[in-house]
Amino acid sequence: MNIVQIDNWRDYRRDGEQFLRTAVGAHNKKKKAFSTDTLYNVTCMAIEKLIMAFLMKNGDLAENHTMADLLRALQLHLGDIPDLAEKLMYMDTFQDICSLDNFTINIPTEEDVVKMLAIGEDVQAVLHPHLYDRNISLTQ
């Protein structure tokens, strides 16, 4: 089967990495402009961009952009990934904003943020071999 990559997948990879670096850096420096809910949203954008880069590189898209939908699309390519699945579903517990009539937003705690940033780094580590040639390290 010949995979037709979707244009600009590298832009999504770059954006995802930049969002994650921003969230981690802001948290480490205790930047006041980055509240826990802001760090949650930036981290979610990072995860979404990284997964979309992977999917686009493989000629695919997710049905929607919730963590559950991104996970389903990811599993079509990577198979069962229970550890990552549990982490992504945890990320989905903070916002349910698909319906204007019934939406919930839970503000994450500092402990939640630490866990979320680690999840972002885990997603990056899982996808890294699929988004780069083998000789490029994560620290670049």
Q: Which token pair is 22?
A: 């921003």
The pLDDT score that the predictor gives to residue 135 is 56
The pLDDT score that the predictor gives to residue 6 is 93
Which CATH number belongs to the domain containing residue 25 in this structure?
A: 1.20.120.330
Structural domain includes residue 138: no
Structural domain includes residue 136: no
Structural domain includes residue 59: yes
User: Mind listing the pLDDT tens digit for each residue in 119-132?
Assistant: 999 999 999 999 99
pTM: predicted TM-score of the whole model, two decimal places: 0.90
The pLDDT score that the predictor gives to residue 140 is 46
Structural domain includes residue 1: no
CA atoms 95, 40, 120, 61: torsion sign: positive
Structural domain includes residue 32: yes
The pLDDT score that the predictor gives to residue 119 is 98
Cβ neighbours of residue 3 closer than 8 Å, sequence gap 6 or more: 58, 59
| CA dist 137 → 38, 56, 89 (Å) | 28, 21, 28
Hey, how many other C-beta atoms are within 10 angstroms of the C-beta on 45?
Answer: 19
Which domain does 99 fall in, by range? 9-131
Structural domain includes residue 100: yes
The pLDDT score that the predictor gives to residue 123 is 98
Task: Please tell me the total count of domains within the chain.
Answer: 1
Structural domain includes residue 2: no
Strand partners, 104: 96
The pLDDT score that the predictor gives to residue 83 is 95
Q: For the chain, which ranges sit under pLDDT 50?
A: 140
Structural domain includes residue 82: yes
